[in-house]
Amino acid sequence: MAADPRGKAETLALRRRLLSDSCRLFYPEDPIKIVRGQGQYLYDEQGAEYLDCINNVAHVGHCHPLVVQAAHGQNQVLNTNSRYLHDNIVDYAQRLSETLPQKLCVFYFLNSGSEANDLALRLARQYTGHWDVVVLDHAYHGHLSSLIDISPYKFRDLDGQKEWVHVAPLPDTYRGLYREDHPNPAGAYAGEVKRVVNSVQEKGRKIAAFFVESLPSVAGQVIPPAGYFPEVAEHIHRAGGLFVADEIQVGFGRVGKHFWAFQLQGEDFVPDIVTMGKSIGNGHPVACVATTQAVARAFEATGVEYFNTFGGSPVSCAVGLAVLHVLEKEQLQAHAASVGSVLMELLRQQKAKHPIIGDVRGIGLFIGVDLIKDEATREPATEEANYMVSRLKENYILLSTDGPWRNVLKFKPPMCFSVDNARHVVAKMDTILTDMEEKVRSCETLRLQP
């Protein structure tokens, strides 16, 4: 295939003419035209190399040769739907089952995390015979209409909250109702879910499911207190609902200590449904729902088949198997634990040096840096966060912001991200923060601390 002959300006003009403005670009004031990727690096049309700190889709690294080879090899032989017998789909389901608690033993394959969460919602409603859903504040579970409805991050800017959706407080121990000084934040936040459940039941409504990202991401890289999920599950199960763990952003060894982020809540905790996407295919459109025999049998009892044209195709499953192989072969889960630990320590050193850093939180290669304007009020430093991202881009480092106020710098890099990468990024951040403090920029919130 010939090299792209277009200049960046022409590509941008065509995009503006042919694509909706709602399909937004990173760095809209000066977008980057990316033409190649390798490992934790992206390259623009001029050959400039950017360090990618945020692409959790390229889980084992951009264009990993073993994943590319697996897709190419299977494409040369067969790619068709899953209504024919094929070894790849059963091999893949078996390999996934080996990473999960024994109870989660039935698999559905799809194309995207949004499809996975939509199916999880259907499964829960069919099994329970109930309709209502409990979610966390600021949650995001996908872009289908059914999922916009259970994503406060989205529905508050659209049609608002449906009567069958019930929002519990985010278990955020830095900004939430119960903070780091609370003696039992897990119990306190779980108690808030119980309060929501009681309110739902008082209205004569019934709960089908509690949906939760195992580590809330768009909410600001939040780490729920250990023990929160098991207590919440008790309240939800008592109300006749199911517990759905959304691992789309954080599964597959990213947290380092465990293969799945929900396992941070205790070895004995098992969700009723787990959804997967993004990293599962390293950029190939693959997703999965894992659930119990009981939930699957209830879904089958409708007599209506579940069919997904591209879900579980031989190529998709070959890619998925390759990703699991690379994770194991390159010991990337352990790598995430060790590199993440170094990155966290380096960032904590910056927190001690720069008052604008209010909190550093995370585990493995899932880390958030919460920027503040005032230590006492913890007022979000949104402008400063945007400034930091822009300055890092000038230094060929790709980072982004998240959280309700877009003031949290988020790290979710490819799993091959190295200690040297961590040191490089933090050194640049230090330089930028020092420069911000020394120059006393016109922005009022960037003035020097007394």
Distance from C-alpha of 239 to C-alpha of 441, rounded to nearest angstrom: 54
Spell out the long-range contacts of 103-106 with Cβ–Cβ below 8 A and sequence spacing 24 or more.
Answer: 103/270, 103/292, 104/270, 104/271, 104/274, 104/290, 104/291, 104/292, 105/290, 105/292, 105/293, 106/290, 106/291, 106/292, 106/293, 106/295, 106/296
What is the pTM assigned to this prediction?
A: 0.94
Same domain, 384 and 240: no
How many structural domains comprise the chain? 2
Question: pLDDT at residue 188 above 80?
Answer: yes
Asked whether the CA dihedral 246, 249, 253, 257 is positive or negative, the reply is negative
What per-residue confidence (pLDDT) applies to 4?
A: 56
Assign 443 a pLDDT band (cuts: 50, 70, 90). very low
Residue 2 belongs to some domain of the structure: no
- The larger pLDDT score, comparing residue 80 to residue 449, is at 80
Give the distance from CA 447 to its chain's centroid. Answer: 34
Same domain, 375 and 246: no
Question: pLDDT at residue 238 above 50?
Answer: yes
Same domain, 276 and 306: yes
Residue 231 belongs to some domain of the structure: yes
Same domain, 345 and 304: no
What per-residue confidence (pLDDT) applies to 3?
A: 55
Assign 141 a pLDDT band (cuts: 50, 70, 90). very high
Residue 181 sits in which domain range?
A: 65-329
Distance from C-alpha of 255 to C-alpha of 337, rounded to nearest angstrom: 7
Question: pLDDT at residue 34 above 60?
Answer: yes
Rg (CA), the chain: 22
Residue 1 belongs to some domain of the structure: no
CB-based burial label for 257 (10 Å; 0-12, 13-18, 19+): middle
Residue 3 belongs to some domain of the structure: no
Residue 167 belongs to some domain of the structure: yes
Render pLDDT for 300-343 as a digit per residue (tens, 0 to 9). Answer: 999 999 999 999 999 999 999 999 999 999 999 999 999 999 99
User: What value does the mean pLDDT take over residues 177-194?
Assistant: 97
Same domain, 86 and 163: yes
Same domain, 17 and 72: no
Residue 348's contacts (CB-CB under 8 Å, 6 or more residues apart) are: 360
Same domain, 159 and 207: yes
What per-residue confidence (pLDDT) applies to 11?
A: 93
Asked whether the CA dihedral 350, 353, 359, 361 is positive or negative, the reply is positive
Same domain, 291 and 433: no
- The larger pLDDT score, comparing residue 3 to residue 58, is at 58
- CATH number of the domain to which 407 belongs: 3.90.1150.10
Share of the chain above pLDDT 70, in %: 96
Same domain, 239 and 310: yes
Same domain, 361 and 417: yes
Render pLDDT for 346-388 as a digit per residue (tens, 0 to 9). Answer: 999 999 999 999 999 999 999 999 999 999 999 999 999 999 9
Question: pLDDT at residue 440 above 70?
Answer: no
The token pair at 361 is 């939180």
Q: Among residues 329, 347, 365, which one ends one of the domains?
A: 329
Least confident of 32-36, 101-105, 159-163, 251-255: 159-163
Render pLDDT for 218-229 as a digit per residue (tens, 0 to 9). Answer: 999 999 999 999
Render pLDDT for 271-306 as a digit per residue (tens, 0 to 9). Answer: 999 999 999 999 999 999 999 999 999 999 999 999
